[in-house]
Amino acid sequence: MSDKRAKLVIVDDHLIVLEGLQKLLQNAANITVEGTFTTGAAFLTFLEQHSVDIVLLDISLPDTNGIDLCREIKKLSPATIVLALSNHNERSMVLQMLQQGASGYLLKNIAGDELIVCIQEALNGEMTFSQAVKEIMSRPSVAELKGIPRLTKREKEILQLIAEGQTTPDIAATLHLSPLTVETHRKSLLQKFEVKNVALLIRMAVEHKLL
């Protein structure tokens, strides 16, 4: 990468984090913090007028979320490198960010020198992750080992109603279906999730954030 100082921007609604990051970055040669923003909208406005090499992006923001914002950033300025910086250590979150074009994912417990290394790597066009993230991604979660089953529209609908405590006859009534039909869908749900009763079904659904 070039010798010019990279223009970096931080988007995070926590003042503490903003200050902390700037402190950690002030020692880094060839990086200039061009600005800090506490909302996604504020940053997007800035991005329309200025060029930004890399953005450290918090995932939980007051007006939007990191996933949507990342997509917006990439649409507006594809060359801008997005590095997610978050407290969320869930695999699904990491994957979603990458899918939206993020170049890496850092957890906020990252060490100071590690942070600078990761930023350099990202600037070099590499994918980069903080140590903790690498560990999370290396061991697949129990939930993901089985994979999230693909549910049909009806199945989702019926899963929802089961989770609301409705019995098979109840569901049949609310959806104007035969109880036998509902039974069939219910069985499909149990099969797809590879569980043997509703207790586990609900747990799986909650784990997969389907409720």
Binding region for DNA (CB under 7 A): 150, 152-155, 167-170, 175, 177-178, 180-181, 183-187, 190, 196-199
In the list DNA, a second copy, none, the entry touching 14 (Cβ below 5 to 8 angstroms by class) is a second copy
Judged by CB under 8 A, which of 1, 76, 95, 111 binds a second copy?
111
String of contacts with a second copy for each residue 137-176, x by CB under 8 A? -------------------------xxxx-x---------
Give the binding-site size for a second copy (rule: CB under 8 A).
35
Q: What is the dihedral of CA 51, 56, 61, 64, to 10 degrees?
A: 50
| Region near a second copy per CB under 8 A, out of 106-114, 136-144, 149-157, 174-182 | 106-114
In whole angstroms, the minimum distance from the beta carbon of 112 to a second copy comes to 6
Q: How far is CA 114 from each of CA 10, 21, 106, 132, 160, rounded to the nearest angstrom?
A: 17, 12, 10, 11, 43
DSSP E strands in the chain: the ranges are 6-11, 31-37, 54-58, 81-86, 104-107, 128-129
Q: What is the DSSP letter of 22?
A: H
Q: Which residue has the tokens 């594809």?
A: 78
Q: What is the DSSP letter of 34?
A: E
SS3 94: helix
Contact 108, 85 (CB under 8 A): yes
| Region near a second copy per CB under 8 A, out of 7-15, 75-83, 93-101, 123-131 | 7-15
In the list DNA, a second copy, none, the entry touching 184 (Cβ below 5 to 8 angstroms by class) is DNA
State the sign of the Cα–Cα–Cα–Cα dihedral 127, 89, 55, 10.
Answer: negative
Binding footprint of a second copy on the chain (CB under 8 A):
13-24, 87, 108-112, 115, 162-165, 167, 195-203, 206, 211
